[in-house]
């Protein structure tokens, strides 16, 4: 059994990690770190965790084999600066601190999208877990980037309220958000740089990604549609995607219409391609807290530790 | 045209009053009072009001013919103490300050449930607007109280998130409330006293009202079911209700199943009676912001001013 | 008082027309036509209409001044063929039968988007009411088309379940649709031709409209985002939109973020423009049953009859 | 590995069983029976099952160790009459055919509420799985029945749309059900007899259960509140519940407020007791498809087979 610590365990992605790791056969939770909730039982914050995890949040980290950082963006770097972490500890950061620039002291964070970096991950000690929209959009576009076929991309994506975290805001108030749709960070979402850095490394030429994010009136999930111009035949494109993801246990290329609830409460990504004339649309869907955050973090841990990629990730879909 | 002022115009019931009064043929809005948002345009807080009402919130009240108080509970009394209001001004309080005890200086607030007090309201200068649950439950039980048939009542009611106001709370966070149901203030809701004071004045004997309120995963509306034991025949009870509400334009006794969306965005209350053996259940549904608050306040104003009861209240139901 | 008949009164758009016309000061409902529900009271199908409209559906049309056709697509033509309608009767078709080709016998249907054709509508006897997505997308793009600035457009739009009508389908089942998002008719929605026919008549050169429609998990409303490349300054574009819609009482150009619920239960369209580099995104939102169908039909009637454009359309927004 | 067959695998409870059993360590799915969908892949009906279960539905049952019947009420008896099932096969019926009268040929169905019958279940060959409301309400009342303290009970319960199955009905149409609440089968729900048969066997005197079921605007879950009169002290009652469920791994007595989402996508039941004067309210919540159907069926299977009670049932809660 490897020991695990979770920093920022009181948030959505932190608590979701607990839900996953509580039943993971190869790890045991040693500490749950939270400065603001130190002394509180995690199951008092999240009653669904009662009997599943009865640990008390602490502000005293301990030595562990695996450390997950579930902090607000820009705080992972601070935390690692202030707290000593042994070199042999596997650190997986769910924030965006090390996605664009992975250097931190002796550590060099690998971008933890297993569908790209599965070969570099085994034995890794530092992993930068991708963003939620970044995961959904990259998985939709990667096969095209690898062929250097990307040029102009027009993407709309919609995200659940959990994407905004647990802080109380006007746009997460139930009265406002119920039955409502709105755009935010139009053409300026922070994940665009992260997406382009990865895609361009394959595509070898510039990509213009015009991304319009929407807020949805549901709690979990991301659905995206990306439109491009291309002369590639549909059947070739479909085969390209099947081949590209042949070894990816959590990515499924669908021949039929996809919908968001096919993936909610799973670590999966479903992708569908549609073509009309010389225009192609690629749809993708993930659970933003799982494949878009905590599930992918466990997937990265599994690969880094040399365990089966889907260990602890055979989750029952919500389905309905 | 009579002049109107709204105190607490920045809240849900205040802004809902604006939506109603902006198109009311007999009144014009003179001032919208808000201490915390003084200087802000109301349409900046509620963009649906753009072009409908472009007034700026103020902390300087003026003389008006009709004054609505839309303040948090217990603040109406304070406000009236600190601000001079002419005796001839009609004051309608949407809070609970004057529902149980209507005395305030020279004023004597009448309980503004028109289905009870329609005769006392014309010419009234002080009206205490009933609470939302109080309206839905009283309308469901009044005909029985008038016959002195009430004894033990078991009521469950569910309310939309607007009932909790616009403040950000854990239980109004979209992520928490979406798809969720919970109980609150079990057997101790503040409306019980208000309901009993009215019902007992008809029933002439004590009533035990066991009320379990639930939070619902929708924004608008209240649905209640009240269970009693009785030997009265169904047909007699049905006729009793029809007769009792014969002159009430906003109350409808339904022969068929009712549902909440029949009344959302209207000032109506629908009631259905079901009987099995010696047990009777009375269901009622209202829009908590309209018949449960601002709509009823306008209805009270209309009656007090001698206008048609439904003036400005022929609202298009949301229906879907 | 002008007399009105509604054909297909049992559907969503038909019943929504009843909700609007029941309180319209200049018309009275003479007949509600439905073949399948002939003999049924409309308020038995839609209990929210109880006391508002107690008419019985009939399969015997009568002579009226104004006739609304609320039939499934392709059935308006059939109905007019089988049923005699006097030349002086104003016919407003809410289907898509006359939008692309307005000729039918002596009649020549005018495309009823008042923001384009307000001058042709007064006195008109035949009006083809635009589609819901067609309304939202055209209003977002018209000012650019008029300047001949449109070339490539990438649009994503999301629609409520009422857009799919009242028939029971897998994709309108609550269990499936709740919390779900999905794409449909990708790049092949039937409204694209309708949109392009109008826009190109202004733009004078071909437009490529790549439209990805989504199904949303709400009942009412349409939200769209359209992305284009342009070198026009933001301030010029904003002014262009303000000028273009200066005389359009139901279109509002917003300086701040828009959201769907600003327009639900109203006949309004709100539009917001955002720009980043040489890329512009235009968002628009409408209530698909009102500005996208029955509300716009009443607006067209008002203009055609020489009445005030907003008569009967000062609707209280749902807001929450 | 024991072999399993599921009859009625195409429905909600059948497919939910597949989601559970696909990852259960001790069983393998041998056949999925469906007359109407024979020849169809289950993952074509439920795309979330792609790669999880790729079996084709069949109308040819085979010999299995464990057989689940997920048929509409009253059809299990028919199916067992028409299809030979070996005596040594464990049959678990999720319908209501054998709940009140467990006799069928040589078989004698045990009522499969493990919190009552855990001692009778090991080695059992015939188990009648309880109804969803029946599970939630019994678990809320059993400790009181065992003390013979039940007399008059007033219960309101709300259920998700999955409780109504996958058939398309007016009341499962998204447009109708979204944001809507309604009552159905008032005082006459089919689960009342089932509940009373069990409770009275403990209580030894008649119980009057006045049950008002509501339809909720969510897909999964049941929340109930039961009100009784009692002089028992709160602390005694709380302790009674803790003791009664001390050995029940899936029942949790909460000291703090419960809500529905604490149990969605789990096999758990959470219960909270509140008291005011001599009135007590017991709240309970379950996932109707899991503890209320398929999850409990797996729990029954585990106990009957002598396996750990929670095998395959350590499910990640949806939580958000």
Domain-embedded: residue B317: no
Residues A148 and A266 placed together within one structural domain of the fold: yes
**Averaged pLDDT for residues D153-163:** 98
Shortest Cα distance from B223 to chain C (angstroms)? 15
**φ, ψ for residue C229, nearest 5 deg:** -100, 135
Any idea what the CATH number is for the domain that residue D39 is in? Answer: 3.40.50.720
Residues A94 and A212 placed together within one structural domain of the fold: no
Q: Determine the Cα–Cα distance for residues A237 and A230; give it in Å rounded to an integer.
A: 10
Taking the CB of residue D291, how many other CB atoms lie within 10 A of it?
Answer: 28
Cβ-based burial of A151 (10 A; exposed 0-12, middle 13-18, buried ≥19): middle
Residues A142 and A241 placed together within one structural domain of the fold: yes
B241 to chain A, any CB pair closer than 8 A? The answer is no
Q: Which of C187, C259, C281 sits opposite A186 (nearest CB)?
A: C281
Shortest Cα distance from A205 to chain D (angstroms)? 35
B219 to chain A, any CB pair closer than 8 A? The answer is yes
For the residues of C234-265, what is the DSSP string, one character each? Answer: HHHHHHHHHHHTTT-TTEEEESS--BGGGTTT
Residues A162 and A271 placed together within one structural domain of the fold: yes
Nearest to C186 by CA among D236, A258, D239, A116: A258
Q: H-type helices in D164-226, by residue range? A: 174-177, 191-203
Residues B143 and B179 placed together within one structural domain of the fold: yes
Residue D208 near residue D153, CB atoms below 8 Å: yes
Torsion, CA C18, CA C23, CA C28, CA C30, rounded to 10? 20
Q: Determine the Cα–Cα distance for residues A234 and A10; give it in Å rounded to an integer.
A: 45
B139 to chain C, any CB pair closer than 8 A? The answer is no
Residues B147 and B276 placed together within one structural domain of the fold: yes
pLDDT of C83: 97
Domain-embedded: residue C317: no
Q: Residue C179's pLDDT band (boundaries 50, 70, 90)? A: very high
Taking the CB of residue C165, how many other CB atoms lie within 10 A of it?
Answer: 14
pLDDT of B284: 98
Range of the structural domain that residue C60 is part of = 2-129+293-305
**φ, ψ for residue C218, nearest 5 deg:** -150, 165
Residues A118 and A243 placed together within one structural domain of the fold: no
D267 to chain A, any CB pair closer than 8 A? The answer is no
Domain-embedded: residue A310: no
Test mutation, A316, A317, A318, chain D, max D CBs within 10 A: A316
pLDDT of D208: 98
| pLDDT tens readout for residues D239-265 | 999 999 999 999 999 999 999 999 999
Q: Determine the Cα–Cα distance for residues A301 and A24; give it in Å rounded to an integer.
A: 11
Q: Does the beta-carbon distance from A320 to D262 stay under 8 Å?
A: no
B156 to chain D, any CB pair closer than 8 A? The answer is yes
Cβ-based burial of D140 (10 A; exposed 0-12, middle 13-18, buried ≥19): buried
Test mutation, B169, B181, B254, B282, chain D, max D CBs within 10 A: B181
Q: Does the beta-carbon distance from A212 to C281 stay under 8 Å?
A: yes
Instruction: Report the SS3 class of residue B104.
Output: strand
For the residues of chain A, what is the DSSP string, one character each? Answer: -EEEEEETTTSHHHHHHHHHHTT-TTEEEEEEE-STTTTSBHHHH-GGGTTT--PBPBS-----SEEEE-PPTTHHHHHHHHS---TTSEEEE-SSTTSS--EETTEEPEE--HHHHTTT-TT-SEEEPPPHHHHHHHHHHHHHHHTT--SEEEEEEEE-GGGG-SS--GGGBHHHHTT--EE-STTT-THHHHHHHHHHHHH-S--EEEEEEEE-SSSS-EEEEEEEE--S-HHHHHHHHHHHTTT-TTEEEESS--BGGGTTTSS-EEEEEEEETTEEEEEEEE-TTTTTTHHHHHHHHHHHTTS-TTTT--PPP---
Residue D109 near residue D100, CB atoms below 8 Å: no
B190 to chain D, any CB pair closer than 8 A? The answer is no
Residue C279 near residue A152, CB atoms below 8 Å: no
Alpha carbon separation from A69 to A31, A35, A134 (Å, rounded): 12, 13, 18
Q: Does the beta-carbon distance from A20 to D316 stay under 8 Å?
A: yes
Tokens of A110: 């690998």
Q: Determine the Cα–Cα distance for residues C52 and C59; give it in Å rounded to an integer.
A: 21
B47 to chain A, any CB pair closer than 8 A? The answer is no
Domain-embedded: residue A309: no
| pLDDT tens readout for residues A11-67 | 999 999 999 999 999 999 999 999 999 999 999 999 999 999 999 999 999 999 999
For residue D161, give the chain C residue with the closest CA. C175
Domain-embedded: residue A236: yes
DSSP state of C95: S
Residues D113 and D77 placed together within one structural domain of the fold: yes
| pLDDT tens readout for residues D167-181 | 999 999 999 999 999
Shortest Cα distance from C209 to chain A (angstroms)? 11
**Averaged pLDDT for residues C114-125:** 97
**Averaged pLDDT for residues A245-251:** 98
pLDDT of C25: 97
Q: Determine the Cα–Cα distance for residues C303 and C297; give it in Å rounded to an integer.
A: 10
pLDDT of A23: 96
Shortest Cα distance from D237 to chain C (angstroms)? 37
Domain-embedded: residue C314: no
Strand order in the sheet with A208-215: A182-183, A208-215, A152-159, A222-229, A279-286, A269-276, A251-254
pLDDT of B44: 97
Residues D253 and D154 placed together within one structural domain of the fold: yes
Average pLDDT of chain C is: 97
C47 to chain B, any CB pair closer than 8 A? The answer is yes
| pLDDT tens readout for residues C181-214 | 999 999 999 999 999 999 999 999 999 999 999 9
Intervals of chain B under pLDDT 70 = none
Q: Does the beta-carbon distance from C219 to A179 stay under 8 Å?
A: yes
pTM above 0.90, yes or no: yes
The total of structural domains in chain C comes to 2
**Averaged pLDDT for residues C279-301:** 98
pLDDT of D115: 98
For residue D175, give the chain C residue with the closest CA. C219
List chain B residues with CB under 8 Å of C256: 44, 47
Test mutation, D19, D42, D48, D219, chain A, max A CBs within 10 A: D48
Residue D33 near residue D7, CB atoms below 8 Å: yes
A/D interface, count of CB pairs below 8 Å:
79
Q: Does the beta-carbon distance from D216 to B220 stay under 8 Å?
A: no
The strand pair at D182-183 and D208-215 is best described as antiparallel
Candidate list D53, D132, D269, D276, residue with the active-site label: D132
B45 to chain A, any CB pair closer than 8 A? The answer is no
Sign of the four-CA dihedral A317, C165, C124, C310:
negative
Q: Which of A12, A162, A174 sits opposite B161 (nearest CB)?
A: A174
Average pLDDT of chain B is: 97
Q: What is the ipTM of this complex?
A: 0.97
Nearest to C184 by CA among B228, A216, A257: A257
Q: H-type helices in C22-157, by residue range? A: 42-45, 75-82, 114-117, 132-146
Q: Determine the Cα–Cα distance for residues C220 and A179; give it in Å rounded to an integer.
A: 8
A320 to chain B, any CB pair closer than 8 A? The answer is no
Domain-embedded: residue A161: yes
A287 to chain D, any CB pair closer than 8 A? The answer is no
Enzyme catalytic residues of C: 132
**Averaged pLDDT for residues A230-248:** 97
Residue A58 near residue A32, CB atoms below 8 Å: yes
Residues B59 and B34 placed together within one structural domain of the fold: yes
Residue B27 near residue B2, CB atoms below 8 Å: yes
Residues D172 and D110 placed together within one structural domain of the fold: no
Is A132 considered catalytic here? yes
Q: Determine the Cα–Cα distance for residues B214 and B219; give it in Å rounded to an integer.
A: 13
**Residues 5-34, chain A: which have Cβ within 8 Å of B?**
12
For residue D162, give the chain A residue with the closest CA. A320
Residues C261 and C299 placed together within one structural domain of the fold: no
**Averaged pLDDT for residues C239-245:** 98
Tokens of D184: 């159905």
Q: Which of B154, B184, B260 sits opposite D181 (nearest CB)?
A: B260
Residue A158 near residue B203, CB atoms below 8 Å: no
Tokens of B298: 């306008």
List chain D residues with CB under 8 Å of C162: 175
Contacts of D3 (CB under 8 A, 6+ apart): D27, D28, D30, D62, D63, D64, D65, D66
Shortest Cα distance from A91 to chain C (angstroms)? 34
Shortest Cα distance from C104 to chain A (angstroms)? 32
Q: Which of A249, A261, A315 sits opposite D316 (nearest CB)?
A: A315
Q: Does the beta-carbon distance from B179 to A12 stay under 8 Å?
A: no
Q: Which of B156, B258, B279 sits opposite D225 (nearest CB)?
A: B156
Candidate list B53, B132, B269, B276, residue with the active-site label: B132
**φ, ψ for residue C21, nearest 5 deg:** -80, -25
Q: Does the beta-carbon distance from B289 to C320 stay under 8 Å?
A: yes
Sign of the four-CA dihedral C82, C83, C86, C88:
negative
B190 to chain A, any CB pair closer than 8 A? The answer is no
List chain A residues with CB under 8 Å of C217: 216-218
Q: Determine the Cα–Cα distance for residues D212 and D160; give it in Å rounded to an integer.
A: 15
Alpha carbon separation from B16 to B12, B70, B79, C319, C320 (Å, rounded): 6, 10, 20, 8, 10
Residue A288 near residue A129, CB atoms below 8 Å: no
Domain-embedded: residue D112: yes
Any idea what the CATH number is for the domain that residue B241 is in? Answer: 3.30.360.10
Residue C83 near residue C75, CB atoms below 8 Å: no
pLDDT of D254: 97
B180 to chain A, any CB pair closer than 8 A? The answer is no
List chain D residues with CB under 8 Å of B162: none
């Amino acid at each position: 059994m490897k020991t695990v610590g979770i920093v920022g365990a009181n948030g959505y992605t932190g608590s979701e990690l607990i839900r996953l790791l509580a039943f993971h056969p190869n790890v045991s939770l040693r500490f749950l770190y939270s400065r603001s909730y130190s002394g509180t039982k995690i199951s008092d914050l999240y009653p669904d965790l009662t009997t599943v995890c009865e640990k008390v949040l602490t502000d005293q980290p301990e030595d562990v084999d695996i450390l997950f950082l579930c902090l607000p963006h820009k705080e992972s770097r601070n935390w690692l600066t202030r707290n000593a972490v042994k070199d042999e500890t596997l650190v997986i950061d769910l924030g965006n601190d090390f996605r664009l620039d992975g250097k931190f002291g002796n550590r060099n964070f690998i971008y933890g999208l297993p569908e790209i970096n599965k070969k570099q991950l085994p034995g890794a000690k530092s992993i930068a877990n991708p963003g939620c929209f970044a995961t959904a959009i990259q998985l939709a576009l990667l096969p095209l980037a690898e062929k250097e076929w990307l040029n102009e991309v027009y993407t709309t994506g919609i995200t659940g309220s959990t994407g905004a975290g647990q802080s109380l805001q006007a746009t997460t108030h139930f009265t406002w958000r119920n039955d409502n749709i709105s755009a935010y960070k139009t053409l300026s979402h922070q994940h665009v740089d992260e997406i382009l850095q990865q895609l361009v490394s394959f595509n070898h030429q510039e990509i213009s990604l015009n991304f319009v994010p929407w807020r949805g009136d549901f709690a979990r999930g991301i659905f995206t549609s990306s439109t491009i111009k291309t002369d590639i035949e549909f059947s070739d494109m479909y085969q390209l995607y099947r081949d590209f993801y042949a070894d990816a246990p959590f990515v499924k290329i669908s021949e039929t219409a996809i919908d968001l609830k096919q993936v909610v409460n799973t670590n999966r990504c479903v992708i569908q391609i549609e073509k009309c004339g010389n225009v192609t649309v690629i749809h993708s869907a993930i659970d933003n807290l799982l494949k878009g955050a905590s599930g992918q973090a466990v997937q990265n841990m599994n690969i880094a530790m040399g365990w089966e990629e889907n260990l602890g990730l055979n989750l029952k879909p919500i389905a309905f």
